[in-house]
A and B are shown apart, each in its own frame.
Chain A
Amino acid sequence: MFEEVVRSKWSIFSAGLLLILLILPSFIPRFYVYLLALIFVTSLLAMSLNLVVGHGGLFQFHHGVFYGVGAYTVALMLKKTSLPLWTGFVAGPIVAAVIGLVIGWFCVRLTRLYFGMLQISLGSLIWVIVFRWYSLTGGDDGIPGIPVPAILSPAKNSYYFILIVLVVCLILMYLILKSPFGSTLQAIRDNPQRCEAIGINVRRYQLAAIVIATFFAGVAGVLFVVLERSVFAELLFWVLSLEIFIMCLLGGWFTFAGPILGAAIMVALRTFVGIFTEYWTLILGIMLILLIFFLPEGVMGFLQKLFQHRTKDTAERGQG
């Protein structure tokens, strides 16, 4: 019953937040609409990473690649083919998931740091190809001016589109994590040997998790194109991948919504700190060190602990 109370509180909170986000664009300046949409895109990316990192315990070091692949796929299809506009939107996540399947197939045979290193090398391979293949991808110039469907071109429309896709994806992720599949995945994270012993095909589960996560990263990539209308090779560089990692850490790996909070804090800080100083990465580095020393479970993990302590106290007092 205690859990139900907490859950209902959460769902009321989420519904309220969603309502606010739905009416907000009518009241705030255009820049903030853009900023919120950027937070949504980044949140989805961080959430997709956390599926495999926080809940799956995998060292998914190069998640940015799948984001970039999704973005480049839709960008190239919109720019260079005459296929119906929406096919690119479907193709982006699918191509990202296929690449995720291929890379994951190699990676799940290894564990921990070796898993991460193999993924970085395979991911860097894709980055290098994108970076060098000027005739197709524009190399380090990227692809500017991507023609998105006309209905999405007003800032408010793209905002609502991104918000709706984000909410649908979050619901799907929640259902996946609450399903037997999600529970098995978390069991594998906590004790892979025991799971192997009771007859779970650990590698297949991990591979499935990677494919799901890379699919959602591809969705985030598509949303990025909707928002920015351009792509560039930095999307696939390893620095971005580690930044997504930081968002998960900042928000809290072991909570469901933590990465959203982490992404919101990172994007907002980058934007506002960037106004005052060009030394944003210095601030980010200091923030990250403080986080690792004092708040290793992230903001959300910390709040959850605080909250749980307090409710437990009151519950005990009620009993006594």
Chain B
Amino acid sequence: MDFSALCGQFLVGLSRAMILFVVCAGLSFVLGVLRVPNIAHGSLYMIGAFATFTVTKLIAGSVGFWVALIVAPLVVALVSLVAERALFRHLYQREHLMLLLFTFAISLILTDLVKIVWGAEYRSVSPPDLLKGSVSLFGASLPRYNLFLLIIGPLVAIAIWAFTNKTKIGKISRAAAVDREMVGVLGINVSWVFAVAFVIGCYLAGVGGALVAPTASITLGMGHSLIIEAFLIVTIGGLGNMWGALVGSLIFGVTQSLGILMWPQFAIVFPYVAVVVVLVLRPQGLLKAVW
């Protein structure tokens, strides 16, 4: 195993971690503000990927992908807004177990709706011309698209940080995460704060789905396999903590890609082992949980 291979694999792991981070940041945000462990988040991610496929089919050429990167998350946000206003908002007072099963029900419905709309075949999206090919970095060759992911990830992190710390609605939703009754007492419409927070979290799932589309085949099972990873990442990072989601994603992505070098057949085992180790040593997560 030479150094450049290690380096290249590490960078690939980092870029995969960036997609995980975008999805997990959304999941974590919803979990922190609304206290909803949203299993449907994985299905929304899947819808994001399928919507990206449709947009790139409708708009030929590499401009299609850039349009999809804007449009697909908006589609997801719209779906989540409808779900929130019609169903979720009646259930926030229920216990976690009921909420979990409820979001599972939503994810089952969304999966079948995707099957109805897009069919059960595998789909794929090719990256735009600008991001095809690969670049050489630290002696390792890295696909340009992965480099793009490495840039996008930190940008999303900064955007989320700016939103939660610098905008009014972001500050209100942080306050609602800590004490929703107090926020209500102050005359703020908590119901709408929750709706906005939920839609933003789901929007991030859509962004993740759009970003993953050129790197993997788009299938009906992708939501179900992602959501479990996302939950584990959010848990080891500390529930509701955005930076925790980043740390967790890095651990998950990097252990998996380095695992490929060591033991390809069981590469997927490594991140799970890492999660178990973290949870056994620090059960409450690496960073401070919001609740």
- Contact (Cβ within 8 A) A289 B235: no
A15 partner residues in chain B, CB cutoff 8 A: none
- Contact (Cβ within 8 A) B109 A286: yes
Tell me, yes or no, whether B30 is within 8 Å of chain A by CB. no
B265-291 contacts to A, CB under 8 A, are: 265-266, 268-269, 272-273, 275-276, 279-280, 283-284
B37, B115, B276: most-surrounded residue (chain A CB, <10 A): B276
Closest residue of A by beta carbon distance from B284: A114
Which of A27-35, A42-50, A118-126 is the interface stretch?
A: A118-126
Q: Mark B105-145, 1 if CB is under 8 A from A, else 0.
A: 11111011101100000000000000000000000000000
- Contact (Cβ within 8 A) B279 A121: yes
User: With A122-B276, A132-B265 in contact, do A117 and B231 touch (Cβ < 8 Å)?
Assistant: yes
- Contact (Cβ within 8 A) A124 B113: no
B111 partner residues in chain A, CB cutoff 8 A: 281
Q: What's the least CB distance linking A280 to chain B, in Å? A: 8
B101 partner residues in chain A, CB cutoff 8 A: 242, 245-246, 249, 288, 292
User: With A128-B268, A129-B269 in contact, do A117 and B105 touch (Cβ < 8 Å)?
Assistant: no
Q: Given B37, B115, B232, B268, which contacts A279 in the complex, CB threshold below 8 Å?
A: B115
Closest residue of A by beta carbon distance from B275: A121
User: With A117-B231, A125-B269, A125-B273 in contact, do A288 and B108 touch (Cβ < 8 Å)?
Assistant: yes
- Contact (Cβ within 8 A) A289 B239: no
User: With A125-B276, A249-B101 in contact, do A132 and B112 touch (Cβ < 8 Å)?
Assistant: no
- Contact (Cβ within 8 A) A121 B235: yes
- Contact (Cβ within 8 A) B112 A279: yes
Interface of A is mostly: helix
- Contact (Cβ within 8 A) A113 B239: yes
B269 partner residues in chain A, CB cutoff 8 A: 125, 128-129, 132
- Contact (Cβ within 8 A) B283 A282: no
Tell me, yes or no, whether A13 is within 8 Å of chain B by CB. no
Tell me, yes or no, whether B1 is within 8 Å of chain A by CB. no
- Contact (Cβ within 8 A) A281 B108: yes
- Contact (Cβ within 8 A) B279 A118: yes
Which of B90-98, B173-181, B195-203, B205-213 is the interface stretch?
A: B90-98
CA gap between A282 and B106 in the complex, in Å: 9
Q: Given A59, A288, A293, which contacts B97 in the complex, CB threshold below 8 Å?
A: A59
User: With A121-B232, A242-B101, A292-B102 in contact, do A282 and B113 touch (Cβ < 8 Å)?
Assistant: yes
Closest residue of B by beta carbon distance from A110: B283
Q: What's the least CB distance linking B11 to chain A, in Å? A: 24
Tell me, yes or no, whether B87 is within 8 Å of chain A by CB. yes
- Contact (Cβ within 8 A) A282 B228: no
- Contact (Cβ within 8 A) B279 A117: yes
Q: Mark A114-146, 1 if CB is under 8 A from B, else 0.
A: 100110111011001101111000000000000
B90, B109, B115: most-surrounded residue (chain A CB, <10 A): B109
- Contact (Cβ within 8 A) A285 B272: no
Tell me, yes or no, whether A176 is within 8 Å of chain B by CB. no
Q: Report which A residues bind B (CB closer than 8 A).
A: 59, 106, 109-110, 112-114, 117-118, 120-122, 124-125, 128-129, 131-134, 238-239, 242, 245-246, 249, 278-279, 281-282, 284-286, 288-289, 292-293, 296
With A118-B279, A278-B115 given, name 11 new contacts (CB 8 A): A113-B239, A117-B232, A120-B231, A121-B235, A125-B273, A128-B266, A249-B101, A285-B105, A292-B101, A292-B102, A296-B94
Name the 9 nearest CB pairs between A and B, nearest first. Answer: A285-B108, A282-B112, A285-B109, A288-B105, A117-B235, A125-B272, A281-B108, A285-B105, A121-B275
